[in-house]
Amino acid sequence: MRIIPFIVALLVGGFLYLIVFERDRLLGFSQGQSISETRSADADVQTTPPVIADQSKADTGQSVVSVVAMRSSAQTINGGVLLRGRTEASRRVNVLAETSGKVISAPIRKGTTISAGQILCQLDPGTREVSLKRALAALSEAKSRIPEAKSRLLGANASLHEAKINDNAARKLKEGGYASDTRVAQAQAVLETAKAGIESAKAGVQSAEAAVEAALAQVAATKKDIEHLVLKAPFGGILEQDTAELGTLLQPGAPCATILQLDPIHLVGFAPETEIGRISLGARVGARLATGQKIDGKISFLSRSADERTRTFRVEAQIPNSDSLIRDGQTAEILIAAAGDRAHLLPQSALTLNNEGTLGVRIVNEGNIVGFAPVTILRDVVEGVWVSGLPDQVSVIVTGQEYVIAGVDVDVTYQEAAQ
């Protein structure tokens, strides 16, 4: 009685071996081929290109497998580049203090919509008005010194002219024997003194003019410092945080407010090197936010330089956002329109794998001979999948493809395409 389980185990093991390792030969044998014919067919299939396996028909009267196929024609579908990205405010600025002072204005609360030029923070002027009056007085005094300095210059010029005349007269008198060397020397000394007076007078004029320039600079600096006491919005937008609280002492560089401009808002993605060539300026963009909201716009910027760490290129699109419903920093799934692709719409069940694990479909070639064609999935839709890699006209097996192999003869029944 113990021999029966052993025999059953041997039979089951042999059957499993045939199914797993000798599947192709077993199918050929079931169709009426001899073992030698099956081995020959296997050799032919292995040397056949992966797309179409060419083999002669089976002998007349040989049993064949019935399959259902569909005639499919390639169509041009809209291509697209799918990216992951985020929304980003078109403008963002931190308004910082440029002078020191205590805040004397009531704070504006975050979330408030503000306009360009609106006052955000106002600082206590302190003694700046007094400093301005002092600077204006110094300017007036410096300006009054200029006429005096110029008058001295005129007097020095007159003295120089007189000294030149006296020096010339003394020289001529000496030549005629009517003047001594002492008189000539005195005239020359007076002339040199007059020349030095000219230089001194010119220096006085320059000094007076420099004093005026310094006073003007002081007045301008004081006025600019007073202007910095009022911090205004550089553009319209929304306050991201409260403005500085009343009584806060701000130093240069201290923040007063943060402003975001959300209309238009930017949609930012990062395209890999393999996809950036398919994107162009002005291309249509559709996106779905994490909230489910759908938005669309156009490509407004393509980076010419890749990120050093990720080797991706920044891509931006402008999106209208007049109602400010789209926020800064939301996650988005971005689809960018690209050049169309030729593809077939097939049912998902038609996809299969060959012995090497390559994804593809089994097709019917001329003479009802089965072939295998690898495909690439472009898009998954409700009606099926769009795939590329097939000829423009092809017959794809949609039922029974798992029971045939490349190179065998089949009995084909055709159905209407799903396209």
The interaxial angle of helices 35-46 and 23-30, nearest 10 deg, is: 130
Q: Average pLDDT of 158-179?
A: 80
Query: Does the pLDDT value for residue 32 go beyond 70?
Result: no
Q: Is the pLDDT of residue 10 over 60?
A: yes
Q: Which pLDDT does position 56 carry in this prediction?
A: 41
Q: What is the DSSP letter of 314?
A: E
Residue 419, CA distances (Å) to 107, 344, 351, 397 in order: 63, 8, 16, 15
Q: How far are the Cα atoms of 95, 231, 234, 406 from residue 117, in angstroms, in the given order?
A: 12, 9, 6, 76
- Ramachandran area for residue 49 (φ above 0: left; ψ -120 to 50: alpha; else beta): beta
Helices (H) and strands (E) in the chain, counts: 6, 20
Q: Count the neighbouring beta carbons within 10 Å of the beta carbon of residue 386.
A: 21
First-to-final CA distance of the chain: 62
Q: What is the pTM of this model?
A: 0.55
**Cα dist. 75→34, 380, 392 in Å?**
43, 15, 8
Taking residues 213-227, report their average pLDDT. 94
Query: So what's the pLDDT on residue 82?
Result: 87
- For the chain, the structural domain boundaries read 84-92+259-340, 98-122+231-253, 125-228
The secondary structure of residue 349, as a DSSP letter, is G
For the structural domain made of 125-228, what CATH number should be given? Answer: 1.10.287.620
Per-residue model confidence (pLDDT) at position 40: 45
Q: What is the CATH number of domain 84-92+259-340?
A: 2.40.30.170
Q: For the ranges 46-55, 239-248, 262-271, 306-315, which has the lowest average pLDDT?
A: 46-55
**What pLDDT score was predicted for residue 18?**
67
Among residues of the chain, what percentage have pLDDT more than 90? Answer: 52
Non-local (6+) Cβ contacts of 369 within 8 A are: 53, 54, 55, 57, 407, 408, 409, 410
Query: Predicted confidence band at 43 (pLDDT cuts at 50, 70, 90)?
Result: very low
